[in-house]
Amino acid sequence: MVTYNLDRFFDLTPDLFCIAGYDGYFKKINPAVSELLGYTNQELFAKPISEFIYFEDRDITAKHRDDLKKDIPLLNYENRYVKKNGDIVWLSWTSMPVEAEQTVYAIAKNITYKKKIEDDRNRLIENLTRINNDQKQLSYVTSHDLRSPVNNLLSVFKMMNTSKIQDTETLEFIDVLRAATESLKDTLNTYVDAFSANGSLEVTVGELTLEACLKVVLHSLNALIKESNATINFEFTAFSTINFNKAYLESIFLNLITNSIKYARLNVAPVISIQTKIVKGIRQLVFTDNGVGFDMKKVKGKLFGFNQKFNDSPDSKGIGLYLVYNHVTSLGGHIALYSIPNEGATFTISFKN
């Protein structure tokens, strides 16, 4: 009959094996204990176990030790120990009492690395939550404070006696400016009302007609389109409606169109194409222009980032594509770019079905 040397198992395991007495002292430990904590066996046996425990965890550990004395096993209990060099390690314990022997048999795993990952993740979540709250607050304050000058501007339009203006082009410009201002007022009111009701920006989704939303934006950009001699072609035959947020969709059209005009090639009039496609059952909105395009190697991983600029233009703020990306992805969609420098860009927005 084969006999096994259990002491070898006890000594070779990387986990911490120990036997402790009800008096609170180690009675036997394996090499992993002294190797991790940095103390000699004599030092570990000479002091109560509590003296090696991190001071914040001593009281709760003492309560669990009392439970062990009542013959209640301790499973997956986590606490911190202090190494001889002052470093702190996290251990996860499984402890079984043997009342007849007045001893506790315990196994511990070093989970310090796992705890570090958890701490890093929690700090990241906390930081992202703070940034998100700051952005919400900034959006609320900005939307609220902009309403006053917008209302003042609308009051000017109401007081304006256009019957005295004979020039048809001037009257057309006034109408465009009035319409753009009213649209801005409606958008600001939507944001402020949503914040006031919920303390956060509630995104409402409904069925929208793509052409109707696009024409609202084209009307507000009428002067810019004429000044740049831009040509905008659209075809929504694959599908003409989409379940989406109205303000988000109009913002997507607005930012992509203004970017195409802003970053047109020198002496080349902007030509913009907007169409719908259905690829493998997925609805897509494809936006193409003939502008300066992007160097995909340089913009990779940064394209839709906040405050990322890829042009020396003073009008470049690095916010437009960031907004487009967040509008699309926040509602479960995806956006991709294909571009060659000086050959234009193609943005493909895939909507959540």
pLDDT (tens digit, 9 = 90+) per residue, 204-230?
889 999 999 999 888 878 878 888 999
Query: What is the average pLDDT score of the chain?
Result: 84
Q: Are 289 and 300 in contact (CB under 8 A)?
A: no
**Which candidate, 322, 323, 329, 328, places its Cα nearest to that of 304?**
322
What 3-state DSSP class applies to 115? helix
For 25-69, what is each residue's pLDDT tens digit?
999 999 999 999 999 999 999 999 999 999 999 999 999 999 999
Q: How far is CA 4 from the centre of its chain?
A: 55
Q: Residue 302 falls within a domain, yes or no? A: yes
Q: Based on the fold, state whether residues 86 and 215 are members of the same structural domain.
A: no
Which of 63, 95, 110 delimits the end of a domain?
Answer: 110
Name the more confident of 145 and 343: 343
Domain harbouring 63, CATH code = 3.30.450.20
Residues 105 and 207 in one domain: no
pLDDT at res. 28: 94
Residue 145 confidence (pLDDT) = 57
- Residue 310: inside a domain, yes or no? yes
pLDDT at position 295: 81
- What CATH code is carried by the domain that includes residue 277? 3.30.565.10
pTM score over 0.75: no
* pLDDT tens string 152-164: 677 777 777 777 7
Alpha helices in the chain (DSSP H): 6-12, 31-37, 41-46, 58-69, 112-159, 168-198, 210-220, 222-228, 246-262, 296-299, 320-329
Residue 189 has pLDDT above 80, yes or no: no
pLDDT band, residue 8 (cuts 50/70/90): confident
Task: For residues 303 and 138, give the distance between their C-alpha atoms in angstroms, rounded to a whole number.
Answer: 23
Structural domain for 310, as ranges: 203-350
Q: 70-96: per-residue pLDDT in tens? A: 999 999 999 999 999 999 999 999 999
Q: What pLDDT was estimated at residue 186?
A: 76
DSSP 173-207: HHHHHHHHHHHHHHHHHHHHHHHHHHSS-----EE
Boundary residue ending a domain (110, 125, 153)? 110
What is the average pLDDT across 129-135?
A: 70
Domain assignment present for 217? yes
Statement: residue 245 has pLDDT above 80: yes
